[in-house]
Amino acid sequence: MTDDPLRFAPDTAEVRTLYALTPDGFTAWQDGASEPHRAWAEAAEFQGKPGQMLVLPGPNGAPEAALVGLGDASAQARTRFSVAAARATLPAGPWRLSGDLDAAQLDEAALGWLLAGYRFERYATSPAPTATLVVPAGVDAARLEAMAAGEALTRDLINTPARDMGPADLARAATTLADRFDAQIAITDGDALAEGFPLIHTVGQAAGEGRSPRLIDMTWGNAGPRITLVGKGVCFDTGGLNLKPGASMGLMKKDMGGAATVLGLAQMLMETGQPIRLRVLIPAVENAVSGDAFRPGDILPSRKGLTVEINNTDAEGRLVLADALALAGEEETDLTVSMATLTGAARVAVGPDLAPFYTDDNGFAQALSDAGTRNADPLWRMPFWAPYETMIEPGIADLDNAPKGGFAGSITAALFLRRFVTAPRYVHFDIYGWNPSASPARPKGGVGQGARALFAAIEGMV
């Protein structure tokens, strides 16, 4: 039996069966069950509702099998990873999944099971589940294990407080990942950053010694489509001189969620050996307050040559991404993706569970949406609405980083970033990166969004 809760268990003679059942499926199960098991389920009032779980005893009283409810079609549409809810309470040992699951549902159940094994234990330990799952027939175990491991990396990075996850720490995490997969990595900081990436340098220059800004540039693979992932790495965001109120600052350790997500996605791609040429760019900064902080009203140069008027220092994520996207455009790519915990407007529009994305490529948008559905990674397409372009054109400079008025904040941020992109296929994600309350396979805390959908869509490109 494996000791890694993010991996499947080997098949052994001691495997018991976990039946995943809809209400109708439970009725059918009763017809073939033993009389003691039928009576036990009836006494427990098991009905196949989502999240219901019942252990069935054998003749000697030891656990022999178990039931977990899926609910009807309406309930299933409202609940992801229902089977995963059983993992924490099932008796220890290997289990085999059976019941009312088609191939897609079996994949989701197996993935959810692995994701439910995640624990963040850097500062305090918590009991890991002792129930394990034998690989269901037809499931690609290595692929799902890679997804779970990549998601665990993303969650770990987001959950780590900014004291221990500053720009230098984020660079070390990227270097560790690069070393594991024999990727190349370069870190630009100091004078070279100030000269070549003025927006990244300016946003991060107030953080002081030991937390100075840098650009992380990792490359892997030498054949296949060129994929460039750009992740916002704002390790903590005070808002700068436009200081956030305390209530808004409490979760700002997650403002590097874009960087954490692209690193998790990169791990998935490298671990499964995808035939691609991968590049990961992360502007890693801390938006701090000091005498060196940039100011509202400043006009800043960018790597691309466009000037930016600063109307709010709390709209810093698009600034650091802009320089990184400009660098990405200096080489040919088949796909450029930017990933950021960028705007509160996106959170208000679609809530914490949906990942909004922008692209002008209708075919790839459909591929992404389909991949999100297949991989329990819900997405929602948003428009690059051209009539709003004037909102980011202040007149005194080429671009405005924070248009006044409060309208369409996510769209104007996406339009701002698109000005720095030259790739023919570009996708921007404006994610939340945080699960505000626990749900099956998704504990409260940092969470990856869009990575599994992108992973599957990229698989479709090779």
Active-site residues, by number, are: 244, 318
- CA distances (Å), origin 209, targets 162, 206, 212: 15, 9, 6
Q: Give 316's Cβ-side CA count (13 Å radius).
A: 38
CA angle 261–9–76, rounded 5-degree value: 60
How would DSSP label each residue in 326-372? HHHTTS--SEEEEEE---HHHHHHHTTT-EEEEES-HHHHHHHHHHH
Q: Give residue 388's identity as a one-letter amino acid code.
A: Y
Record the tokens describing residue 21, joined without a space. Answer: 């059942």
Query: What tokens does 290 get?
Result: 């000091």
How far is the C-alpha of 250 from the C-alpha of 207, rounded, in Å?
Answer: 18
The two three-digit tokens of residue 314, written as one number: 């709390």
Q: Which residues contact 328 (CB under 8 A, 6 or more apart)?
A: 228, 230, 279, 281, 336, 421, 423
